[in-house]
Chains A and B, each alone.
Chain A
Amino acid sequence: MFEKTITELSAALRAGEFSSVELTQAYLDRIKQFDGDLNSYITVDAEGALATAAEADKRIQAGETGPLIGIPIAQKDIFCTDGVKTSCGSRMLDNFIAPYDATVITRMKQAGMVMLGKTNMDEFAMGSSNETSWYGPVKNPWDLERVPGGSSGGSAASVAARLAVASTGTDTGGSIRQPAALCGITGLKPTYGRISRFGMIAFASSLDQAGTMTRSAEDSALLLQAMAGFDPADSTSADEPVPDYSATLNDDLTGLKIGLPKEYFGEGLDPEMEKTINAAVDEYKKMGAEVVEISLPNTHLAVPTYYVVAPAECSSNLSRFDGVRFGHRCEDPKDLEDLYKRSRGEGFGDEVKRRILMGAYVLSAGYYDAYYLQAQKIRHLISDDFTRAFKEVDVIMGPTTPDAPFKLGEKASDPVSMYLSDIYTIAVNLAGLPGVSIPVEPVNGLPAGLQIIGNYFAEAKLLNVAHRYQQQTDWHRAIPEGYDV
C-alpha cells in the first residue's frame, strides 16, 4: 500500500481493493508509529481525515473518477485550513484556528483529497533545516541525526518516510527543492503565479510559490493539475492556460537541449555531489539530449540579493502579527507599545526576528537606495541571465544543494553558512521560474537532488524531463531504512 503511486492507489480505490477510509487509517497508524521520532507533523487531524475519506468513498462508489479522490495528503502548516490550527511553525500562531481555507486547500478538497494533517516547517518558512520551528526540528528519515532541509522539512520527511502519499510545500528561496533533495523525493516549485497564494501565509510575497512534494514526477503532475490555475483572489495569480501535465510526461527527449551553468559546478560544490549530478546528466545524454555549458554570470549575487528582498518583504508581511486580532498576546501589557513589543518578541523565534530586523533596516530612511533598490536592480540582472540562457537551451540542470544533508545543529549558529545552502535554488525564485528537484544517486548513502530549471510556465516540460529520468532509474523509489515496512 505504501509503495503505490497516486495513479496506482487511485486504480486500487476504484477497483475496491481497499477503501479510502482503510488507506487513510493505515497512514494514520503509520504516523502514530513513526512520527514520534521524525516530528514531521504539527497537527494530525485523524477525525477530519477519516470523515473526508468516508465521503471520498461515497464519491468513488457514485462513479466519480478524479485521480485524487480519496488520496491522503499532508499540508504544509503554512496553508490556512478552515477550522484546523494553522501555526506556520510559530508560537505566534500556536492558538490560531484559521477561519477559511487557502485556495490550494479548497482545490484539493474539491479534488477529493484527504488531509491527514499539517506538516512541520521552519517558523514562517524562514530556514533551510527545519530547526527554527517552534514545534522542534524535523529529523531526516535517512539519518535521524541529520536535518531534512527546510523550510518544507516536515512535508519532505513525511513523504520520504511514507507518512503521506504526497504533500504540499512552499518555496521562497528553495524551501521545496532543497528539502526534497535532502529527503530523496521529487519537489516541484512552479512558476511564480502558477498557483494561488491566497490563504498561504506570506513570507516574501514576490518570491513565495506553492508546489508539490511527491515520490515521483508522475504524482507531481496529478497534484499540480489540481493546484494550478488562475485565482481572482490573488492579484499576482497568472491567468495562463493550464495544460494537461500528465499527457506529456512520456514525450521523447531526443534533441532536448540541456544547459549546465558553469557557475553551479564551481567552488563550494562537494566533489561527490558533482559526480552524482554528472552521472544523472549522462543518463539524459543516453536518452538523446544534448548538453551545453552555459553561463549565469550573476549567480554569486543571488544570495546577497535575496537576503535584502526577502527580509524587506517579510518585515512588512509579519507586522500584522501584533497580538490584537489573533495570535499570541503577552500577559498584562502595560501599554500599547508593550503589547506590541512583548507579543512579537515572545511570539517570534530568533531567525524570524533576525529577518524582520534585517528587513526593517534595509528599508529604513537612508538605506533604501543602497540596499533595497540596488537589490531590485540586481534581481533584474539575475533574471536577465536566465532569459538569455533560455534562448539557447530548453532546460537548465545542476545540483539542488551544494552537499548532502548536514547534521542537526551543524549550521544553526551561523546564519550565513545556512543561507548559502540555498545557493543554487535562490536565483530561480528571484527570476520567478519553475524548478524541480529529483532524487539521483545518493552521496555517501544520503539523498542528493538534481535541479531542473525551466522557462516560465514550462512545468509540463520539467515534469516530462523528470519523469523520463524516473523511467530509467529507481532512485525515487528508494525508501529509508526502517520505514520500508
Chain B
Amino acid sequence: MQWEIVIGLEVHAQLATKSKIFSGAATTFGAEPNSQACSVDLGLPGVLPVLNREVVTMAVQFGRAIEAELGYRSVFARKNYFYPDLPKGYQISQFELPIVGRGDVDIELDDGTIKRVGVTRAHLEEDAGKSLHEEFQDCTGVDLNRAGTPLLEIVSEPDMRSAKEAVAYARKIHQIVQYLGICDGNMQEGSFRCDANVSVRPMGQEALGTRAEVKNLNSFRFLEKAINYEVERQIDVIDGGGKVKQETRLYDAGKNETRSMRSKEEANDYRYFPDPDLLPVEFDEAFVAEVTKDLPEMPDAKRVRLIEQYGLKVTEAVTLISCRTLADYYEAAAESAGDAKLAANWVLGDLLGALNKSCLKIETSPVTPVMLGGMIQRIVDNTISGKIAKQVFEAMWAGEGDADAIIEAKGLKQITDSGAIEKIVDEVIAANPNQAEQFRAGKEKMLGFFVGQVMKQSKGKANPQQVNELLRSKLAPS
C-alpha cells in the first residue's frame, strides 16, 4: 500500500529575555541548581505572577513576521497536572485566546518549489524545570532554574508530508526567530525544541490516522531521523494488523528509536481555566506599530533582495540567508570589498570552511567583514592574485593583522612590472628548451607548465594574466 505521511510540529522557542516570564529571576543558562529559582518560580505560598513586557513584544514581532492574526486580547490559562518539575501543579499557558493566531510560512523543497505551511497559533507559556534522574540512586533531583523561562509555542497545521518537509519548516521557524532576535536558537541548550505529531494514512484517504507525539528532538538531524523511524514503526504496526496508539513517545538518539513515555501514559485531563492571578493581555495597533517599527528584514525578503542587489545565484543567496548574522556578515564584506560576487565566493568558500574547521560561529570569526572586504579589494586592484589571497586569508585568520599589513610584511605584492616578469619568463624559457619546443609544436598543455614555473620563480607574485600574455608572445613560433 502507498502511505501518506502527515506531520505537524510544535516548536517551543525560548524567548531571549533577561528575566523570566512572570518573575524577576534571571534566565541565564547553566547556573547552579535552583540558584535562579525565585519564590514565584518555586510556587511558594502566596506569591503572584507579573507578566514581562518583553515577551509580549517578542510574540507580537513573531506574529507580524509570519503575517499572522494577532490576539489583541489574549488570556493566560492554567494547565493543571502534577509533576515534580512543575512547581505550582499547573503551567501558566494560553488556551482559548492565544497571543498569535493563524499565519503562514513558506518553505523551499528540494526541487526548488515553494510550499506554504500553516501556523495554527503561537502562544506564550512558562517552561518547566528539569528532572535529573541519573544523579541519585533512588531519587530524582529537581532543578527549577528553568521553571518560568518564557516560551513561545508555535503550533503548525498538519501540513507536512515528509521528514524533509518537517525539517525545512523547523529550520524556517528557527531562521525567523533568530532573525527577529527573540530566540538564540540553541538546540543543545534546549532554547529551540521540536515535538512532532506524526501519523500515516493510506494515500488518497481523507481522514487523518492516529497520531503519536514524538518528543526530545534536540537537533534537526534527530527530527528527521525520529520522524522516519516513527513512520516506519506506524506502518509496521498497521501492516501487522495492529492499531497506532495515540500517545507521547520519546526519541532515543542513541538507539535511533522512539518509545512510549511512561510518565505520559495516562490520559490527561488538564482542567484548563483562566488564571485568576493574571488579567487579560490587551494591546492596540499603536503598540504593535511601536514594537514592530524596527523589525529586521525577514529571510524571504532578504533572499530576493540579495539576488537582485548583488546578482547572486539562488543557491548562494539561500545559504547566505540561512542565518541572519551570516547574511549581515556577507553584506558588510561585500560593501567593503566593492565586488559582491567575489565576496560571496570568499564568504561561502574559505570563510565558512575555516569557521567549520575551527568550530567557530560567524559572530566570533577572527576575520571581520571589513578585513575580508579589504583583502578582496587587493584582489580586485591586482595587488595580489586570488591564489596569494588564500595565503593572506590564512594569515588574517591566524591573527597576523589585516590584508595590507600582511601583504606588506610578507612581500606578497603582485609583480605587475612587465620588465620584471619578462625577465623571469625569458629565464624560464631559456632553461626549458625542450618544453618550449613541444609547445611550439602545438602541445598547448605545455603553457600550463611554463605558467607554473614562472609563478614558482616569482613566488606566486607575478600577475597571472601578464604571465600568460608574455609567455604566449615569447613562445610564439618566430
Contacts and interface: CB of A to CB of B under 8 A. Distances in A.
Given A234-B48, A336-B84, 12 more contacts: A79-B46, A88-B45, A93-B45, A99-B44, A199-B47, A205-B276, A206-B276, A236-B48, A312-B273, A316-B273, A318-B89, A365-B269
B278 interface: yes
Interface string A316-349: 1011111011100000000010001000000000
Interface string B265-280: 0000101110011110
Contacts of A200: 46
B49 interface: yes
Contact of A363 (B51, B80, B88): B80
A202 B46 contact: yes
B246 to A, nearest CB: 15
Contacts of A315: 80, 271
B114 interface: no
Interface in B45-68: 45-51
B345 interface: no
Contact of A198 (B47, B272, B276, B278): B47
Interface in B71-102: 78, 80, 82, 84, 87-90
Contacts of B88: 319-320
Nearest to B279: A235
Contact of B48 (A86, A233, A313, A321): A233
A316 B279 contact: no
B432 interface: no
B126 to A, nearest CB: 14
Given A204-B276, A235-B277, A319 B44 contact: no
Contacts of B50: 232-235
Given A233-B50, A312-B273, A325 B89 contact: no
A313 B276 contact: yes
Nearest to A198: B48
Interface majority SS on A: helix, strand, loop or mixed? loop
Interface string A378-403: 00000000000000000000000000
A233 B43 CA distance: 14
A99 B269 contact: no
A225 B87 CA distance: 35
A235 B278 contact: yes
Contacts of B271: 315-316, 360, 363-365, 368
B378 to A, nearest CB: 59
Interface string A79-102: 110000010100001001011101
Nearest to B37: A325
Contact of A235 (B44, B48, B90, B269): B48
A201 interface: yes
A481 to B, nearest CB: 38
A126 to B, nearest CB: 15
B39 interface: yes
Interface of B: 39, 42-51, 78, 80, 82, 84, 87-90, 140, 142, 269, 271-273, 276-279
Contacts of A135: none
A189 interface: no
A80 B46 contact: yes
Contacts of A236: 48, 276-277, 279
A10 B174 CA distance: 65
Contacts of A234: 48, 50
Nearest to A325: B42
Contact of B49 (A235, A320, A340): A235
Question: Nearest 10 pairs between A and B by C-beta?
Answer: A319-B89, A205-B276, A363-B271, A206-B276, A320-B43, A199-B46, A201-B45, A320-B88, A201-B46, A80-B46
Contact of B142 (A93, A313, A318, A324): A324
Nearest to A204: B276
Contacts of A80: 45-46
Given A236-B277, A360-B271, A316 B46 contact: no
A372 interface: yes
B89 A320 contact: yes
Given A197-B48, A232-B50, A235-B48, A325 B43 contact: yes
B277 A205 contact: yes
29 contacts: A80-B45, A93-B45, A102-B46, A198-B48, A199-B46, A202-B277, A205-B276, A206-B276, A232-B50, A234-B48, A235-B49, A235-B50, A236-B48, A236-B276, A236-B277, A316-B78, A316-B80, A316-B89, A316-B271, A319-B82, A320-B43, A320-B88, A322-B82, A325-B44, A326-B44, A326-B45, A363-B271, A365-B269, A368-B271
A325 B87 contact: yes
Contacts of B45: 80, 86, 88, 93, 96, 98, 201-202, 320-321, 326
A318 B45 CA distance: 9
B373 to A, nearest CB: 49
Nearest to A193: B279
A87 to B, nearest CB: 10
A93 B142 CA distance: 21
Contacts of B277: 202, 205, 235-236
A325 B45 CA distance: 11
Nearest to A376: B274
Contact of B84 (A93, A102, A199, A324): A324
Contacts of B140: 336
Nearest to B80: A316
Nearest to A88: B45
A79 B87 CA distance: 20
B345 to A, nearest CB: 55
Contacts of A324: 84, 87, 142
A62 B42 CA distance: 41
A326 B272 CA distance: 25
A22 to B, nearest CB: 33
A204 B275 CA distance: 11
Q: Which residue, A86, A320, A336, has most C-beta atoms of chain B within 10 A?
A: A320
A88 B44 CA distance: 13
A372 B274 CA distance: 11
Nearest to A102: B46
Contacts of A313: 276
A270 B142 CA distance: 56
A324 to B, nearest CB: 6
B128 to A, nearest CB: 13
B42 A316 contact: no
A99 B78 CA distance: 25
Nearest to A96: B45
Contacts of A360: 271
Contacts of B51: 235
Contacts of B87: 320, 324-325
Contacts of A322: 82, 89
B279 A364 contact: no
B82 A99 contact: no
A252 to B, nearest CB: 38
A198 B90 contact: no
Contact of B39 (A99, A202, A204): A99
A315 B88 CA distance: 11
